[in-house]
Structures are given as C-alpha cells and as structure tokens.
Amino acid sequence: MVNSKRIVAALAYLSIAGHCRFGYFRADSIWINFLLTSVAESSTKIVSSETGSTTEPASSQATSSASQATSSATESEISSAPTTTGASTTEFASTMTTATTTAAATTTTAAAGPSCNNQIYRGQALTRGYKDTQASTEQECWEDCVNENMCNSWFFQTSGACHLYEQLLGSVLAPSNENGFLMGSRDCSPRDYTPCNDNIGFGYITSNPDSQTPRVRLERDCAQLCMKNGQCDVWQYDGLTQTCNMFSGSFSDLVTLAADAPQGQQGQLRLAGSRSCSSDLFKPQLGPCNGEIAWNNSPLGNYRSFAEYNTIALCARACSIDPACLAWTLWTNQCDFSETGFERDSTDIEVVGSRNCGVP
C-alpha cells in the first residue's frame, strides 16, 4: 500500500518551505531531495499497480526526477532560469549560424575554379592540335576544351575552326599582336582576355620592375615576353640597353605618358604598353619632316643596328617607335639608329633621315 500520509506531509513541507524558508532553501536541498525521492517512488508504484506494466527500477527514475526537481527549485530561487536558458539557446543558435555561414563560405571558395593567371593572348599556332571542333565562337571553343579531359589549351581561328591541344599554351601557341587569333589555357575563358585599349605609348615608370630580361632585340619581342608571363601586366622596352622590363599593376597607375612628363624626365621616356598591346600596331605622334632626309650622306651613328629593316619605310618606322632614336641611316641593307640627330654630309652613299621622316 502507498503511504499517502508521507506524500501529503512531503507536499505540505514543500509548500511551507517555498513560502517561509526561502533563505534556507539551499541548505535543505538534501532533505528535499530525499522527500522528492520518496514521492517519486510512491507515484511509480501507483502507476505500476494500476497498469500492471513493468518499469525501470524506481530508485533510478526517482533519483533523476528528484535531481531535476532540485535543480529547477534552485533556479527558481535565483529567478534566472528562463533568462539563462534563453541566452544559451540564442548563443547556440548564433554559433550554429556562424558555423553554417563559415562552412558555406568555405564551400564557395573550394568550388571556385583554378586561376587563369593571364594565360590567354592573341597569336598564331606553332603546330596542329590533337582535335578540331566545329565551335562557332571563342566561348564555345573554350567550352569544348573544358569538356575534354586531355585538353590543356585551345585556339580559335574562325567559326568551325577550333583547335584543341594536349600541350600547355606557351609550347604550341605563340603570341603576336592584337590582330592575332585568340588562344588560351583551359583555365582561361574569353572573358579573361583584356584588350589593348590603346594602353601603349612613350612614358616613364618610377617603380622598379618585377622582372627584367636582357638582350631583347625588338620592342615586339618584349611585348610578347610579357604576354607569355602570367605575372606581367605592363612591359617597358629600353632600346639603349636592349632590356625588357616587366611590371605588375595597371598601365594608368604605372606609366606617366610623355605629354604629362616633367621636362627633366624627357630623357627617361621609353615605349611601354599593357600586356595585350604589341609595338607592331603602335603609331606614335610625329612632327613634320621638314625635309630632313638625304641621299649620298655619311652615316650618323649606330647604337642599334638591324639587318631585317632593309628599306627606308622599315628603318624609319623602327626608329619612330624608339624615343631615343633621333635619326636613322640606311646603307648596304642595314638600318642604324642614332642619338645625335640629323646632319647633312654629302661625302658618302648612305640614306639618312630624322625620326619624323620616311615613316609610311
């Protein structure tokens, strides 16, 4: 039988303790735990006798219930349980949100494709690819490459003529100038290509180059070195030393053009261009010739000499894109550049002209 008197006594004590013994509630917690354990045991027996079901040992369940009741009573005493629980829930939710956001950001970063690294330019193919496709646009040609596991670079000529290569870009596809065909690595789409936009001209750069290549004969060669260098954004050619300087950064930030150059910097002017600009298509602003061209003249000097520029037009054009060249000499199929300027001296058989003369 259930001892109902014990239950009533325990409940009565709790009622009195809750109102009259508030200051001693912590000290009586052990006694309360004992009473609640007894109540729990009695309640469990009642349920068992009425349902006839088998339950877990009453002592285990009662102890757990009593501990929970004691904890609840203590929290009620300091009147902070709802606030603490709410704060904990909020903190947990905030932590979960932060973790989810961080995970999402990590997933997004991981999903990003490999970098193009400027491995895209216009030029010509050095050999045939392993496969041709019928792509009608540069974009479709690139997509055909991406869809081929063995494709590492692509070359688009015209609609229906897309060429795919197993080799890396620089080994089979050579840069030329803005009129060349677009080509790139599999990681570079046509959207990664930045046109020249006339970012080329005579100017000076105060920053130190990121890299330098000596013994570069032509301005065109310097531009193409920059196109093949993924870290190069701007090139500058020094004709006096035949050095190609390469920089990272924007053309407008690095280069002070001749029109804006201080008077003392005129001697520091060099031809510079963004990575997609070649000297081939550069047309400098020239002054009037003023008749400064002569036949049967003596040579003027030769800080640069070229066998390939064997006509007046070619020699004069080459001089015009080197700001250090003030005059040119053509003789026995050789073109020489001079820093001293045009002088008449009819004692020889050479053709000479100032930098403003003979340019087609």
Find the range with the poorest average confidence among 80-94, 198-212, 253-267, 304-318: 80-94
**Which tens digits make up the pLDDT trace of 95-154?**
434 434 443 333 333 344 578 999 999 999 999 999 999 999 999 999 999 999 999 999
- The CATH class for the domain spanning 120-192 reads alpha beta
Model pLDDT, residue 113 = 57
Q: Answer yes or no: same fold for 120-192 and 200-281.
A: yes
Separation CA 315–CA 321 (nearest Å):
11
CA dihedral for 109, 110, 112, 117, sign (positive or negative): positive
Answer yes or no: pTM beyond 0.75.
Answer: no
Separation CA 308–CA 304 (nearest Å):
12
**Which tens digits make up the pLDDT trace of 15-62?**
444 444 444 434 444 444 443 444 344 443 433 443 444 444 444 443
Model pLDDT, residue 184 = 98
Q: Percentage of residues in the chain with pLDDT exceeding 70?
A: 69
Model pLDDT, residue 328 = 96
**Could you tell me the CA-to-CA distances from 176 to 107, 173, 212, 225, 230 in Å, in that order?**
39, 10, 20, 10, 16
Give the residue, 63 or 310, on which the prediction is more confident.
310
Question: Using alpha carbons only, how large is the chain's radius of gyration in Å?
Answer: 43
Query: DSSP label at 49?
Result: H
Torsion of CA 195, 198, 203, 205, to 10 degrees: -20
The structure tokens listed for 254 are 């690095």
pLDDT greater than 50 at residue 191: yes
Give 177's contacts (C-beta < 8 A, 6+ positions apart).
122, 220, 223, 278, 280, 281
Separation CA 315–CA 325 (nearest Å):
11
Separation CA 335–CA 295 (nearest Å):
14
Contact 18, 74 (CB under 8 A): no
Give the residue, 207 or 6, on which the prediction is more confident.
207
Collapsing DSSP to helix, strand or coil, 352 comes out as strand
Contact 122, 182 (CB under 8 A): yes
- Name the one residue in this structure whose structure tokens are 């550069």: 282
Collapsing DSSP to helix, strand or coil, 208 comes out as coil
Extents of the domains making up the chain: 4-73, 120-192, 200-281, 293-354
Model pLDDT, residue 104 = 39
Give the residue, 87 or 170, on which the prediction is more confident.
170
Write the single-letter amino acid at 147: N
* Average of per-residue pLDDT across 204-208: 95
Mean pLDDT rounded to a whole number for the chain:
78
- Name the one residue in this structure whose structure tokens are 């829930």: 89
Give the residue, 75 or 233, on which the prediction is more confident.
233
Separation CA 330–CA 306 (nearest Å):
10
Give the residue, 333 or 322, on which the prediction is more confident.
322
CATH code given to domain 200-281 = 3.50.4.10
Tell me what percent of the chain is helix, strand and coil, each rounded to the nearest 5: 40, 20, 40
**b vs e for 26-60, b when ≥16 Cβ sit within 10 Å of the residue's Cβ?**
eeeeeebbebbbbbbbbbbeeeeeeeeeeeeebee
**Which tens digits make up the pLDDT trace of 264-313?**
777 789 999 999 999 999 999 999 999 999 998 888 888 999 999 999 99
pLDDT greater than 90 at residue 9: no
Contact 282, 321 (CB under 8 A): yes
Model pLDDT, residue 298 = 87
Model pLDDT, residue 348 = 87
pLDDT greater than 80 at residue 93: no
pLDDT greater than 80 at residue 75: no
Q: At what angle do helices 58-78 and 81-111 cross, to 10 degrees?
A: 100
Going through 199-242 in order, the beta strands assigned E by DSSP cover 200-204, 211-213, 234-238
